[in-house]
Amino acid sequence: MLISTCLFLWILSTYILIFTATTGVGSTSAPTIREIISTNRNPQIWKDFNLCIMTDNSQKAQCKHCFHFLSVGSNTTLRNHIEHPHCEAKKAQKNQNSEAGQTSMARDGSVFMYDPDYLREQFAGLVIQRALPFNHFDHEQTTRVFQNTMQPRYTHVSRSTLKRDAMKLWLAAKQEIIDSFGNINACVNLTTDVWSAPHGVPGSYMCVTAHWIEPGTWQMMKRVISFEEFPSPHTGGALFKMLTKVLTNFNLEDKVMSITLDNASNNTSAMDKLKLKYEPPMGGRFYHSRCVAHIINLVVQAGLEVPAIDAIRESFKTMLKDIFKSSARTRQRYVKICKDAEKPCLRPNWDVPTRWNSTYHMFLSGLKQQNTLAYFHDVLANKNRCNHFPTENWVIIQSLTQLLEVFNTATEILSGVYYPTSPLVLQQIFFMSTVLSEYELEGGILSICSVRGFLPKSTIQVLQQTLSS
Ligand SMILES: *C1O[C@H](CO)[C@@H](O)[C@H](O)[C@H]1NC(C)=O
Ligand SMILES: *[C@@H]1O[C@H](CO)[C@@H](O)[C@H](O)[C@H]1NC(C)=O
Ligand SMILES: *[C@@H]1O[C@H](CO)[C@@H](O)[C@H](O)[C@H]1NC(C)=O
Ligand SMILES: *[C@@H]1O[C@H](CO)[C@@H](O)[C@H](O)[C@H]1NC(C)=O
Ligand SMILES: *[C@@H]1O[C@H](CO)[C@@H](O)[C@H](O)[C@H]1NC(C)=O
Ligand SMILES: *[C@@H]1O[C@H](CO)[C@@H](O)[C@H](O)[C@H]1NC(C)=O
C-alpha cells in the first residue's frame, strides 16, 4: 500500500512538473490553463476530465490521463475519448491489459509506457557500450531499488539473461552489416592485424576492420567486422583461411579493393593466395597494402637501436630512476622542489620496448621539467648518491625529440580511422625525409656523440619504396 502511495505521489509530482512546464512555456499562440474549476456536470464523464478556464477565457476539458484538451461542447466526444478509446494513455493501459496506473507521462509530455523487453535491450546496449560486466544488474539490491523507486513491475535481470540479450544485439548488428554489404555498390578496404592479449590472458586474436565510402552520402564508413581468436602459429595458410572466412561470411568476396597489413613474409604469402582465389580489381595492384605506420615503426626502432642513441636513452632513464625510483624520500624531495618553484612535476612516462613512441613521450615529459630535474640530479650527484648526468645529453635529447616528433606526427596522422589515409602518405613521407636530410646535412647536434648515420640513407629509400608497393 505504501509503495503504491509513493508511486502515486511520484507520478503526481511528475504530472505537476510537466504541468508547470507546459503552462510556463505557453508563450505560443495556444491558450494555456488559467484555472481548474470544479464541476457537477455528468460525473460519469467528468471523472476523467478537469474543467479548465483557459487564458483566453474559453472553457476546455482536459483529460486527466493524457492531458489533451477537448471541447466541452460534446458529451459524445468526451465519452469516446475515454471509452473508445482515443486517449493514448488509456490505449497503452489497455494494450498492457494490466492494473491501472502503469502508464505515466514521459518528460516531454508524451505517454510513457513501461516495456520490460525494451528495458532489457537497453541494458544490453549499455553493458556493451560501457564495457560493463554482464552481472552489472544481477543483484537483488539493485532490483529492490528499481522496484521500490521507479517501476514496481521491474523484474530481476540476471547475468545469463543479459548475456543472451547482448549476443542477440550483436548478431542483429552483424546481420545488418552483412546485408548492407550485400547491397553495396562500392569497393571495401580491409585492415587487419593480429593482437596478443595482455599478459596473463592467453591467446591472440585477429581483428578485421572495413572502410568504405557510402555511395549515397559520400561518407567514409568504418566497421570492425571481425574479432576472432587466432591461435598461433600465424602461418600464411592460417591467415589465408581466416580472411577467406571473413570475406565469405560478410558478402565481401568480390568487393575488396585493398587489404592493409604489416609487412611480414607470412602476411605476403597469405595475400598472394587470396589474390589467386579472388582475382581482385586492377589486377590486384592495390590489393596488398603494407601498413605505413608499421614501416615507420620499424625505421624508428632501428634508429633507436643504434648503440650511441641507445646509450643516451639508457643514461636518461637512469637519471630519471635516480630521482623517481631510488627512494620515496628522494621522490618527495623532488616533488617539493617543483612545488616551491611552481614548476610542473610530471611522473615520467617510462618507455616500453615495443612502442617507440613511449621513448618519445618519456623524453618529452622529461624535457618539460628539464630545469628542475637537472638541478635536483646535480644535488644528488654532488652528494655522490649517483653519477652526473652530462649537460650535453640534454642537448642531444632535445634534438632527438625534435627528430622523433616528425615521425610521431606522421604515425598519428596515418593511423587515422575516420578519414582516408592513403592520400596523406606521400606528404608525410616527404616531411620525414626532409627532416632526415636536414639532420644529415647539418651533422648537427647528433654528431657530438658520433652518431652520424643515425638513420642511414637506405632508410629513406625504404620509406620511398612503400609508395611503389
Ligand atoms: C603480419 O605480420 C606481422 C609481423 O610478423 C604480425 O605482427 C601481424 O600480426 C601479421 N598480420 C596478420 C594479419 O597476421
Ligand atoms: C451533456 O450531459 C449533461 C448531463 O447529462 C447535459 O445536461 C448536457 O445537456 C449534455 N450536453 C450535450 C451537448 O449534450
Ligand atoms: C581503398 O584503397 C584504395 C587503394 O589503396 C585507396 O585508394 C582508397 O583511398 C581506399 N579507400 C578507403 C575508403 O580507404
Ligand atoms: C610465420 O609463419 C611461421 C610458420 O610458417 C611461424 O613460425 C611464425 O611464427 C610466423 N611469424 C609470425 C610473425 O607470425
Ligand atoms: C603510441 O602509439 C600507439 C599506437 O602505435 C598508441 O595506441 C598510443 O596511444 C601511443 N602512445 C601515446 C602516449 O601517444
Ligand atoms: C617488406 O618485406 C619484404 C620481405 O619481408 C622486404 O623485402 C621489403 O623490403 C619490405 N618492404 C618494406 C617497404 O619494408
Q: What is the largest CA-CA distance in the chain?
A: 103
Sheet holding 256-261, edge to edge: 220-229, 204-213, 188-196, 256-261, 288-290
- For ligand 3, the distance from its centroid to the CA atom of residue 292, given in whole angstroms, is 14
Q: Which band of pLDDT confidence, cut at 50, 70 and 90, is reported for residue 104?
A: low
Q: Mean pLDDT for the chain?
A: 80
Q: Which band of pLDDT confidence, cut at 50, 70 and 90, is reported for residue 170?
A: very high
Pocket test for ligand 1, best of 194, 225, 289, 291 (most atoms within 8 A of CB): 194
Grid cell, residue 275, equals 589474390
The pLDDT assigned to 20 comes to: 32
* Closest-approaching ligand to the CA atom of 466: 6
pLDDT tens readout for residues 180-216: 998 888 889 999 988 887 777 788 899 999 999 988 8
Mean pLDDT throughout 449-469?
A: 49
CB–CB of 78/47 below 8 Å? Answer: no
pLDDT over 80 (residue 446): no
Give the residue with greater pLDDT, 432 vs 444: 432
76 CA: nearest ligand 2 atom: 14
* Closest-approaching ligand to the CA atom of 288: 3
Measured CA to CA, the distance from residue 135 to residue 158 in angstroms comes to 7
DSSP annotation of 133 reads: -
Enumerate residues 6+ apart whose C-beta is below 8 A from 295.
Answer: 263, 462, 463, 466
Q: Which band of pLDDT confidence, cut at 50, 70 and 90, is reported for residue 464?
A: low
C-alpha torsion sign, points 383, 385, 386, 392: negative
Nearest CA to ligand 5 atom 14: 357
Q: Which residues pair with 208 in a beta bridge?
A: 192, 226
Measured CA to CA, the distance from residue 170 to residue 164 in angstroms comes to 10
pLDDT over 80 (residue 403): yes
As to burial, measured by CB atoms within 10 angstroms (0-12 exposed, 13-18 middle, 19+ buried), residue 305 is: exposed
Give the residue with greater pLDDT, 145 vs 383: 145
Pocket test for ligand 3, best of 223, 422, 425 (most atoms within 8 A of CB): 422
Nearest CA to ligand 3 atom 7: 422
Amino acid at 374: A
pLDDT tens readout for residues 265-291: 777 888 888 888 888 888 888 888 888
Give the residue with greater pLDDT, 453 vs 154: 154
- For ligand 4, the distance from its centroid to the CA atom of residue 124, given in whole angstroms, is 38
Measured CA to CA, the distance from residue 290 to residue 340 in angstroms comes to 51
Pocket test for ligand 4, best of 230, 235, 263 (most atoms within 8 A of CB): 235
Q: CB under 6 Å to ligand 3: residues?
A: 189, 211-213, 220, 257-258, 286, 289, 420, 422
pLDDT over 60 (residue 463): no
Grid cell, residue 195, equals 593482437
Enumerate residues 6+ apart whose C-beta is below 8 A from 452.
Answer: 440, 443, 446
Enumerate residues 6+ apart whose C-beta is below 8 A from 352.
Answer: 358
Does ligand 5 come within 6 angstroms of the Cβ of 357? Answer: yes
* Closest-approaching ligand to the CA atom of 188: 3
